[in-house]
């Protein structure tokens, strides 16, 4: 018998063991006399079942054999079919998440949770951990960033510091960033840096993915040059590794930063290279998100190319719907499709897509909602409805007020200020310009005011 199992036989609480012995006996259709088998009294079996006696490991082994079960089931509460069934449920949940069937994934995870609830808390720790990891992925995909963050914080706090832990930290940093908590998104990278060196994992795919995720948080905080340098170093390391996954991650983030710096011509080839690498590695959600970004880059060129953008965004939408992409990923894609429709002169379709986004994200993604309200207002302006445009821009102000402060928020405040000014809302426009400045970290100089 395994030494750990033997020790658990010697230390298990008789009050826990007894009901399990009784359940196994009844399941086998045996009497207590049958279970005794001639080597112990019926009364002793009765006392075991009552939680008053704990047989030694050898005797428990023979009792388990007569009951048609295993010592492991009697000691841990895990039946011979339960662990395979649990692992199968989690495999199905993983496949459903990867294919974008979130309802099916949730159903399998709920089934697994029900099975685990009937077992001792200390049984199957690796299965329990995998179930929590999948649950965190599901919460993120559903747009419940707070729920995902709570799970990921617990998992990274008590998990082994290995490659799997790095992947969880990357997800945690990404969720912090998407929730607007940029300081914590950066802090995750700093927390992992020392551990990477200690474990010699600095050159792994997982480490590169973490680096570029944290670089994106630095960029959102306004430290553009540092973020660009982090991505460039990640590209150099990924090229030495010759890892398609790592190279794609590094090139992707470098392309996003170049695009946000107002250099779409430099961003486009980086994005195309990353997309080609992801297609080699069956990129799933990441491939779909990158294709969406490529569509956005077409909208940012001078002049914009809405036709090329729309082709990329429609293909990305199909890929997003067939992956574990989040509702926010899909909503962003829809906003950018609406922008392409607006530039193509298809005003009614642009408005319909923007309203669809507002119905899907609600209050969960204020920046996306604000962008959708802005689009509704711009469509109204093009159709000559100044009053409707003004109302839409005012709703955008309310949504954007809950969006925190980063470069994207600052840009939208600035754009919104110009639009409000154009419809005669001078006070709201001035406030929007002030908020744009505040979102970039600029503050009024007291020294100049009192000079």
Return residue ranges of the chain for CATH 1.10.260.40: 3-76
pLDDT above 50 (res 274): yes
pLDDT above 70 (res 282): no
What does the chain come to in residues?
A: 451
Give the residue with greater pLDDT, 88 vs 125. 88
Q: How high is the pLDDT of residue 23?
A: 86
pLDDT above 60 (res 156): yes
pLDDT-derived band at 284 (thresholds 50, 70, 90) equals confident
Q: How high is the pLDDT of residue 441?
A: 57
CB neighbour list of residue 119: distance below 8 Å, 6 or more residues apart: 76, 77, 78, 82
Give the chain's mean pLDDT.
84
pLDDT, average across residues 66-76? 83
pLDDT-derived band at 332 (thresholds 50, 70, 90) equals very high
pLDDT tens for each residue of 337-394: 999 999 999 999 999 999 999 998 877 788 889 899 999 999 998 898 888 988 988 8
pLDDT tens for each residue of 208-231: 877 888 888 888 777 888 888 888
pLDDT above 60 (res 442): no
pLDDT above 50 (res 450): no
Q: How high is the pLDDT of residue 107?
A: 93
pLDDT above 90 (res 310): yes
Task: For domain 3-76, give its CATH number from 1.10.260.40, 1.10.645.10, 3.30.450.20, 3.30.2350.10.
Answer: 1.10.260.40
Of 19-28, 49-58, 70-79, 309-318, the range with the lowest mean pLDDT is 70-79
Of 38-47, 208-217, 290-299, the range with the lowest mean pLDDT is 208-217
Q: Are 296 and 310 in contact (CB under 8 A)?
A: no
Q: What is the pTM of this model?
A: 0.63
pLDDT above 90 (res 449): no
Q: How high is the pLDDT of residue 446?
A: 39
pLDDT-derived band at 447 (thresholds 50, 70, 90) equals very low
pLDDT above 50 (res 402): yes
pLDDT-derived band at 313 (thresholds 50, 70, 90) equals very high
In this structure, the number of other CB atoms found within 10 A of the CB of residue 32 comes to 18
pLDDT above 80 (res 408): no
Q: How high is the pLDDT of residue 315?
A: 93
pLDDT tens for each residue of 195-204: 776 766 666 7
């Amino acid at each position: 018998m395994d030494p750990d199992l033997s020790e658990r036989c010697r230390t298990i609480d008789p009050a826990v063991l007894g009901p399990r012995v009784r359940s196994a006996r009844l399941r086998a259709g045996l009497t207590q006399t049958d279970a005794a088998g001639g080597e112990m009294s019926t009364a002793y079996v009765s006392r075991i079942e009552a939680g008053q006696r704990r047989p030694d490991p050898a005797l428990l082994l023979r009792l388990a054999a007569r009951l048609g079960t295993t010592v492991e089931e009697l000691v841990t509460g895990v039946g011979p079919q339960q662990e395979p069934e649990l692992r199968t449920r989690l495999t199905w949940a993983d496949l459903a998440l990867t294919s974008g069937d979130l309802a099916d994934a949730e159903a399998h995870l709920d089934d697994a949770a029900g099975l685990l609830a009937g077992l001792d808390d200390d049984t199957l720790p690796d299965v329990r951990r995998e179930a929590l990891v999948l649950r965190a992925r599901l919460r993120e995909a559903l747009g419940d960033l707070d729920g995902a963050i709570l799970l990921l914080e617990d998992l990274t706090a008590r998990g082994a510091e290995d490659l799997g832990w790095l992947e969880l930290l990357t997800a945690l940093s990404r969720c912090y960033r998407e929730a607007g908590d940029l300081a914590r998104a950066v802090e995750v990278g700093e927390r992992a840096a020392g551990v990477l060196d200690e474990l010699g994992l600095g050159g792994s795919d997982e480490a590169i993915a973490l680096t570029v995720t944290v670089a994106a948080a630095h960029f959102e905080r306004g430290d553009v040059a540092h973020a660009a340098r982090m991505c460039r170093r990640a590209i150099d390391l990924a090229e030495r590794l010759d890892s398609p996954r790592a190279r794609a991650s590094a090139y992707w983030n470098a392309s996003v930063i170049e695009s946000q710096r107002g250099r779409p011509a430099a961003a486009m080839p980086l994005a195309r290279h990353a997309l080609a690498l992801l297609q080699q590695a069956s990129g799933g959600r990441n491939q779909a998100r990158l294709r969406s970004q490529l569509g956005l880059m077409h909208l940012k060129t001078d002049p914009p190319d809405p036709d090329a953008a729309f082709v990329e965004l429609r293909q990305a939408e199909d890929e997003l719907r067939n992956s574990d992409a989040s509702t926010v990923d899909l909503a962003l894609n829809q906003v950018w499709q609406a922008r392409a429709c607006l530039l193509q002169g298809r005003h009614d379709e642009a408005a319909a897509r923007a309203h669809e986004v507002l119905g899907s994200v609600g209050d969960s993604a204020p920046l996306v909602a604000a962008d959708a309200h802005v689009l509704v207002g711009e469509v109204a302006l093009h159709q000559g409805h100044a009053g409707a445009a003004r109302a839409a821009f005012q709703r955008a102000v309310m949504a954007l007020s809950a969006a925190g402060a980063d470069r994207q928020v600052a840009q939208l405040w600035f754009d919104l200020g110009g639009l409000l000014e154009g419809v005669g809302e001078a006070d709201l426009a001035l406030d929007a310009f002030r908020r744009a400045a505040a979102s970039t970290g600029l503050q009024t100089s007291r020294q100049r005011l009192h000079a």
